[in-house]
Amino acid sequence: MTRPMSDQHLVARVLEHIDRGTTDLGPDVWREPVANYRSIERFGREIEVLRRTATAFCPSASLPSAGAFLARIAAGTPIVAARGNDGRVRAFVNVCRHRGMQVAAGSGNAKVFVCGYHGWAYGLDGGLSHVPHEHGFPGLDKSCHGLVPLAVTERDGIVYVNQDRSANDADPGGLPPLLSDDQKLLSTNERDTDANWKIVLEGFIEGYHIKATHPESFLPYGFDNLNVVELFGRNSRVTYPFKRIEKQRPLPPAERRAVGYVTYVYQLFPNVLFTVLSSHCQLVVLEPLDVAKTRVITYMLTNGGGDAHAVAEAKRDAGFVGSTGAAEDRAVVAAIQRGIGSGANDYFTFGRFESAIVHFHRELDSALAELE
């Protein structure tokens, strides 16, 4: 499959699963060595995969106008992305070409980036524009000392960055449109989780745990172990239907709609999730800090429009998800990390209900092999 199925086909599959008491099944079982969650050497190679892959850096809505910038660490590299006066988004290694100090922090709006160490200044295009007391650097060619550029692609409301210096672009390839121009950025949140990044990711892309982990939060509104799993390229989409999808049953198939009746979770290979819920969506970036710690960066947006009603509904929806199910998931992944060095398991077993996780590990192994 190259793209996710239509609403009409998706709703039909969900209703068929409800009638039969079934769910999507993958073709095989995967056994992932526990050592792969603990190995420092393996972790370093995974970081290299992240650096060589076009990955989602932020929503376009984080850079709404000329001068808007966002700086953060991505796969261990300080990066700043900024929208230029020409409307184009560019990204650079956030490192001064004089002595290596970062030239931007956090987010905001700027006309130039000025290093806080010695005052070297760079334009929104990354060019070195000013060197204090320039006579002290005889022969300095400013055109050769701009910020180091990275490949960028802005597509369907998301900014993608590729740290591979040989890359000409950062086109992720094979992804459907995910965001639209009218979706408003409501908040950005960062939280450090004491777990390997892959453990955090795995909790997003399977519904086998819903009954045991979320008996009072998500289960009353959804189903126990009923999901549609779609694979496209190195990416996947898991659909979690709400019980209210039954309202779609009497409609003619051509009129059936999924949005508002399901939760979508896209896994954008390798370390990004995009979730579409009832009244809001989230771009979630999992930044590995070390083998046992992950920074979870969440960009929350409205599902459509930025009027007061859409914003209020998005905040209400996000409040429920964040205060209940997300907290339950965080507790689980932290507990897994605490037990990972116990020796109880030589490998984790992912069954046929967890085929999106199987797909992720298979694609990660493939990407790691490509480094060799």
Q: Is 34's pLDDT higher than 70?
A: yes
Q: What is the pLDDT of residue 25?
A: 98
Are 280 and 301 a contacting pair, CB within 8 Å? yes
- Predicted TM-score of the model (pTM): 0.95
The total number of residues shown for the chain amounts to: 372
Beta bridge partners of residue 193, listed in sequence order: 294
Q: What is the pLDDT of residue 116?
A: 97
Residues of the chain with CATH 2.102.10.10: 55-162
Q: Is 181's pLDDT higher than 90?
A: no
- Tens digits of residue pLDDT in 121-167: 999 999 999 999 999 999 999 999 999 999 999 999 999 999 998 88
* Tokens, residue 219: 């289960």
Q: What is the pLDDT of residue 135?
A: 97
Q: Is 325's pLDDT higher than 90?
A: no
- Tens digits of residue pLDDT in 70-127: 999 999 999 999 999 999 999 999 999 999 999 999 999 999 999 999 999 999 999 9
Interatomic CA distance for residues 242 and 226, integer angstroms: 10
Under the banding of pLDDT at 50, 70 and 90, the label for residue 322 is low
Report the pLDDT averaged over residues 210-236: 94
Burial label for 1, CB within 10 Å (0-12, 13-18, 19+), is exposed
Phi and psi angles of residue 320, each rounded to the nearest 5 degrees, phi first: -65, -50
Under the banding of pLDDT at 50, 70 and 90, the label for residue 1 is low
> Tokens 């399977």 label which residue?
206
A 10 A CB-CB count for 71 gives 21
308-323 and 325-339 are packed helices; what angle lies between their axes, rounded to 10 degrees?
Answer: 40
Tell which CATH architecture fits domain 7-51+178-370: Alpha-Beta Complex (3.90)
Are 91 and 161 a contacting pair, CB within 8 Å? yes
First to last CA, the chain: 28
Tell which CATH architecture fits domain 55-162: 3-layer Sandwich (2.102)
> Tokens 């982990």 label which residue?
213
* Tokens, residue 304: 């459509």
Are 2 and 233 a contacting pair, CB within 8 Å? yes
* Tokens, residue 271: 């370390």
Q: Is 323's pLDDT higher than 80?
A: no
Query: What is the tally of helices (H) and strands (E) in the chain?
Result: 7, 19
Q: What is the pLDDT of residue 81?
A: 98
* Tokens, residue 346: 């030589």
- Tens digits of residue pLDDT in 276-285: 998 899 999 9
Q: What is the pLDDT of residue 3?
A: 79
Residues of the chain with CATH 3.90.380.10: 7-51+178-370
Under the banding of pLDDT at 50, 70 and 90, the label for residue 228 is very high
Phi and psi angles of residue 2, each rounded to the nearest 5 degrees, phi first: -100, -20
Q: What is the pLDDT of residue 158?
A: 97
> Tokens 């710690």 label which residue?
293
Peptide bond into 270 cis (omega under 30): yes
List b or e across 343-353, with b for residues whose CB sees 16 or more CB atoms inside 10 angstroms.
eeeeebebeeb
- Tens digits of residue pLDDT in 359-370: 999 999 999 999
CB within 8 A of 127, min separation 6: which ones? 142, 143, 146, 147
